[in-house]
């Protein structure tokens, strides 16, 4: 039987997880010498490459000194915590990567806490020691303190530490620079225990993630916890709700390098992909045919935010999307909940709208961006936090916010956060940077990033993670200024935009098509203003000096999807199509909006 090690690589965003996986793949000769591989090999999704972050966890397997090492690359963002929580179930050890300058960050704490609770053996890797003003010894002490605060066992506190630079391709158990990452691979073989699984007994395997192939259909991925699973073997699928289905395994694959290899059987302790099982969900157990025993189901932290997803009902409906009906939208959202465990979808009173619950703006933003690239058109409403009643008290989610910012901007950051009901917990100096930690309601984070980057000349580095539900903090000020709205359908003209420039700034350029009720800019003052951006210049046959002076129009402000989600207010929504992202009022007609606001104020009284 082959010797196996299962390791998950965990770290905060941008601390070098995917780069480390690259180096492991190269060091164990997964690729031919002349093969072009590029960088960040595991981030093979377009969105991951564009944003430089890992969104979906992935598997690879390498062989080193006759031992098979299954490597699981995990996401670093709190919004994808659901991905991390379930894949840690497949591992026996974790490699915790920490940046030699930044030290442990909020995300590190979140993922490490989950790993230690599962009893996994940790190896600490202090990465980027080639950076100027890095502080590996201080970071090592900070990591030890973090382990201690997370109630690590005596054995877990005695963790081995490796230092190195993933970019330069070396890791060592001391700060002495060497060639290659072999000391780290030796450390994995030495410190990570082989799987505790036993071949004896009936089959047990939990589905911890799924893959899809247009040729093979849905594929169940997981780790065999007990017994042996074989090709063509009859099995029992045990579901979380207690349903039991008799099925048969059609094909079996194990991971090899970046791909999969077909095998006849997989023994306990190894990770495998099973083809031929129908109707399974993540967390279900594949068990013995005759005397099935289920494994405990996977529990995932609850969502903290929801948004309304509706069909696109703007005047430009159906222009550039392939999937535009409510049936398309519903099917796509239901399909997403199968593999995205932290996501929930609920029907509403309207057949055209669905409430989607997620872990944060980025979590929902990635789903919307993926859908628009697949050809969907939809309208999304303002993100709302989930409010709970605990012991008769109205409570809302709070997050721990960590901001690293140059010292001259620290006061601006503190001012911005305290205005949004945040409380400062820690303030310390790290080199030339000020390290600030706050406790802030999740509502206060919506729209904060854009404001903070504006006020700190783009220098602030902001991270946050959910901490707990606490009593409601009262109203939080939203956007101060109103918006500029288009009066009629038509094309914007340079002439009219030039005349309106003193009213505010624009989200559209001359020559763009707009419709009545669409948000085309931000007003300089509070309150919304309806303007006519489509007016052309009246032509005369008389020419006067100066009257034809070239108009100087400031370029439009480009807004990303996440920025739009943070920008809009309660009575606004975003129209998302494959080629455009437009902000608009929910009620497009001005008269109707006035009637609605009168009704609302009458009800409030």
Per the annotation, binding residues for GTP are 14-19, 127-130
Instruction: Write the CA distances from 203 to 80, 246, 285, 420, 498, integer angstroms.
Output: 30, 14, 10, 53, 72
The answer to whether 410 and 438 are in contact (CB under 8 A) is no
What residues are paired with 576 via a beta bridge? 378, 581
Name the residue among 9, 11, 34, 12 with its Cα closest to residue 22.
Answer: 9
- Hey, which bits of 65-149 come out as E strands? 67-73, 93-99, 121-127
Nearest to 309 by CA among 359, 360, 371: 371
Contact 505, 533 (CB under 8 A): no
List binding-site positions.
14-19, 127-130
Residues 6+ positions from 547 with CB-CB distance below 8 Å: none
Residue with tokens 């309304």: 308
Beta-strand relationship, 285-287 and 234-238: antiparallel
Alpha-carbon distance 107 to 465, whole Å?
7
Phi-psi domain of 211 (left: phi exceeds 0; alpha: psi -120 through 50; beta: other): beta
Residue appearing with tokens 């999740």? 442
The conformation of residue 180, written as its DSSP 8-state character, comes to B
Rounded CA-CA distance 405/411 in Å is: 10
Name 403's bridge partners.
436, 462
Question: Residue 225: helix, strand or coil by DSSP?
Answer: strand
Instruction: Tell me the three state secondary structure of residue 116.
Output: helix
* Phi, psi for 341 (deg, rounded to 5): -65, -30
Tokens matching residue 521: 């800019």
**The residue to which tokens 């201690």 are assigned:** 148
Are 574 and 563 contacting, i.e. CB atoms less than 8 angstroms apart?
no
- Helices in 463-572 by DSSP H: which ranges? 494-499, 561-567
For 528: left if phi > 0, alpha if psi spans -120 to 50, otherwise beta; the answer is beta
Q: What is the 3-state secondary structure (H, E, C) of 59-114?
A: EEEEEECCEEEEEEECCCCHHHHHHHHHHHHHCCEEEEEEECCCCCCHHHHHHHHH
Enumerate the H helices of 150-279 as residue ranges.
154-157, 182-191
């Amino acid at each position: 039987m082959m010797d196996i090690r299962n390791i998950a690589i965990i770290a905060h965003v941008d601390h070098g997880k995917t780069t480390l996986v690259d180096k492991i793949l190269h060091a164990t000769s997964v690729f031919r010498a002349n093969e072009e591989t590029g960088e960040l090999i595991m981030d093979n999704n377009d969105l991951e490459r564009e944003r430089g972050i890992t969104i979906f966890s992935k598997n690879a397997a390498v062989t080193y000194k006759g031992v098979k090492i299954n490597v699981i690359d995990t996401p670093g963002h709190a919004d994808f915590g659901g991905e991390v929580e379930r894949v840690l179930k497949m591992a026996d050890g974790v490699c915790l990567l920490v940046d030699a300058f930044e030290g442990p960050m909020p995300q590190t704490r979140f993922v490490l806490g989950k790993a230690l609770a599962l009893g996994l053996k940790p190896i600490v890797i202090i990465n980027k020691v080639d950076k100027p003003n890095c502080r590996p010894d201080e970071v090592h002490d900070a990591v030890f303190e973090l382990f201690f605060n997370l109630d690590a066992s005596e054995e877990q506190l005695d963790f081995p530490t490796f230092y190195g630079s993933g970019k330069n391709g070396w890791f060592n158990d001391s700060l002495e620079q060497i060639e290659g990452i072999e000391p780290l691979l030796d450390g994995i073989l030495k410190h990570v225990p082989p799987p505790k699984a036993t071949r004896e007994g009936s089959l047990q395997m939990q589905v911890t993630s799924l893959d899809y192939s247009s040729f093979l259909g849905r594929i169940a991925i997981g780790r065999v916890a007990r017994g042996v699973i074989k090709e063509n073997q009859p099995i029992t699928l045990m579901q979380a709700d207690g349903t039991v289905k008799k099925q048969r395994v059609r094909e079996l694959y194990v991971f090899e390098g970046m791909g999969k290899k077909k095998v006849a059987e997989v023994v306990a302790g190894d990770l495998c992909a099973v083809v031929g099982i129908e109707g399974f969900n993540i967390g279900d157990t594949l068990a013995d045919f005759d005397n099935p025993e289920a494994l405990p189901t996977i529990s995932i932290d609850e969502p903290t935010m929801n948004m309304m997803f509706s069909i696109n009902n703007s005047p430009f409906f159906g222009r550039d999307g392939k999937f535009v009906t409510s049936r398309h939208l519903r099917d796509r959202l239901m399909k997403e909940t199968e593999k995205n465990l932290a996501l929930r979808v609920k029907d509403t009173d309207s057949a055209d709208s669905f409430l989607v619950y997620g872990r944060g703006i980025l979590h929902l933003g990635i789903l919307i961006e993926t859908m628009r690239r697949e050809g969907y058109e939809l309208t999304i409403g303002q993100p709302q936090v989930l409010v709970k009643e605990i012991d008769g008290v109205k409570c809302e989610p709070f997050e721990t916010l960590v901001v690293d910012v140059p010292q001259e901007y620290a006061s601006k950051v503190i001012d911005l956060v305290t205005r949004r009901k945040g409380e400062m917990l820690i303030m310390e100096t790290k080199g030339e940077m000020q390290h600030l930690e706050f406790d802030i309601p999740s509502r206060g984070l919506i729209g904060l990033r854009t404001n903070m980057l504006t006020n700190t000349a783009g220098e602030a580095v902001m991270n946050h993670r959910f901490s707990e539900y606490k009593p409601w903090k009262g109203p939080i000020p939203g956007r101060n200024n109103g918006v500029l709205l288009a009066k009629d359908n038509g094309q914007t003209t340079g002439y009219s935009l030039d005349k309106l420039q003193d009213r505010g700034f624009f989200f559209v350029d001359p020559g763009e098509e707009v419709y009545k009720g669409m948000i085309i800019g931000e007003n300089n003052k509070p309150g919304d203003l309806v303007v006519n951006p489509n007016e052309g210049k009246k032509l005369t046959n008389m020419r006067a000096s100066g009257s034809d002076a070239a108009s100087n129009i400031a370029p439009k402000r480009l807004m990303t999807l996440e920025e739009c989600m943070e920008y809009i207010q309660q009575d606004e929504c975003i129209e998302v199509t494959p080629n455009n992202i437009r902000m608009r009022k929910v009620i497009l007609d001005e008269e109707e909006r006035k009637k609605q606001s009168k009704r609302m104020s009458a009800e409030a009284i």
